[in-house]
Structure 1
């Protein structure tokens, strides 16, 4: 199969050679007008030859007046600005488009802009009439000194706040001083209501015997039941079911009822003593951490209060024991429930001399503990953290 397409006739005239002279070309890259315009700050100065020929002509959309240089699309240059741009272009530098200053966003920026606009040689007295609004600084009030009375009042408040001591440590000291004598008194009562004191009392020389037939062994046995009943959790049957050798009840119903009342008072006292002891330990631990010497001062005050209390009660008991004993029972027991005949078991086990000795032992134990505490907490100069006297130091050196 043959291609029958007619062949193109050759021209008899010779074809013109293409123009290859590059002496008039510029260094501007081809198709640069298609690329986006670079920011003004990122442009590099032109290092090529002066723009001549077609590249120096204005691009479409530009309008020039006078002697104008090449401008960017959409810009219009006139007068001196165009001349300056043309001169920059002729010198081989890329023209820089002037940047319009933006409005500052912050108040500090507005103040700086206003200060830059204000002439440097402006009269300070004319600033108040300037159309530019100037807001006073927020710290301008600190430059005004308050009156002397206000300054003195503030200084006094600062000194009082610095010298003021916390309230809670003082409260803890007072509570510890109050708890101390009560705790000692309850501990002494607990020591008396024990089988040991009962044995010592029945076996000591001079203790009166029972005129109705109880031996020392009988007293120790029956008395131990009565003392144990005060500190255990048994009911009235613990004493009510006890029988004498003769077959009669050892304790009458009135005696059992009174011992039940005594048990309530004793257990309540012991419970209060445990609570006071725990609170005293808490106060001691707190004062050891928060108040230097607070424990010593509290115990010293408590020992003084204990001495005053025990000496006062001892004086009342010594002046009239029977009256003191009666008033004591009236405080805790109803009238008529704590009086018995001489042949009742409670009177035979615990005669009047027993209660006198018990009062003496309680007072002696509390007195000894208070005196020891007073000596150990006496506020000497060394314990108060003060320097020793010069006379004492000289005597020690000699």
Structure 2
């Protein structure tokens, strides 16, 4: 990824982390407002009324400042995302996308859906209204299946980023049918020659075929029948988030540990690691040094490497690595860098939490070397029988995906073990 795009993405991640911290305070303001409302009712004397009035003014000032900060961050994120999207759109199409079925990207459409949601135009679009009208009536159709329109699919795929940590990191391609991706596996240097000389023959341009299928992933969502009669906004928010969260969690699990076509699922990184990239590290005083050394298995210096991240279970970070971020002197005063738990890092290397990793496992990887293929359609069907007595209808959202590490050597797994007794 070009440096400018990396920097923009870094700024987006930082601002999103700051925005998430601000969003956490919304509940605090709601609680304080409720408490002040109670205090207003309880105030008896002039002094008590004056105290409550002063507290209300203080809360309103804090909330105004809080809302201003949120608005500013949201504006900056939107501008940065537009800038990043403009850079992406100016790049030539992905050279790995070949075959008769041309890969089609939905990235721009997902950004457009966000803008439509901000203005409310999303809910006024004819295909959205028609889909949810059909969705409400789907439970009355025996064996009926409904194809989700692109604009709603884009919303689902965009929301997926809220529930997954690995999906945003991998290379994603949208295709219509089965596909074959041609990967140039050669990394040798070009040859210097005379102007009139012919290009040398050799391994340059060596092609590796990587075939992708379309395995089904699905989730049954139960919807209270009263919600089916509610507004399109509430129904859309509930259904799309349920489907997005379920698919996101399934994809993250598959990216890490998927067992491949034999089990009708994507191939994961860990099952396809070269044996030399699966190592053990002892949890002694040199743990940090020996752990970080394993990055050399990926970044060999033979070729350019994109961003490498360290993926691990939260417990691994807190139990094994957190202490290396905090250093104290003999008096107990902190003299080292305090860890940023909202944006954890390992000696400056970005740490991504994912609980599909076993405790004490650290997966280093350049995740752009994992390709995820997204099929064009997500469908939904229904059943009234599963929870008839609870007055709920079951809706099943189904999508088709495949994925595999196209360069398994771009990943390395380090397993931390305790020293021998």
TM over 0.5: no
Q: State the structure with bigger RCO (CA 8 A, min sep 6), 1 or 2.
A: 2
Q: Which has the higher helix share?
A: 1
Q: Provide TM-score, normalisation by structure 1.
A: 0.21
Task: Give the structure with the higher percent strand.
Answer: 2
TM-score after normalising by structure 2 = 0.20
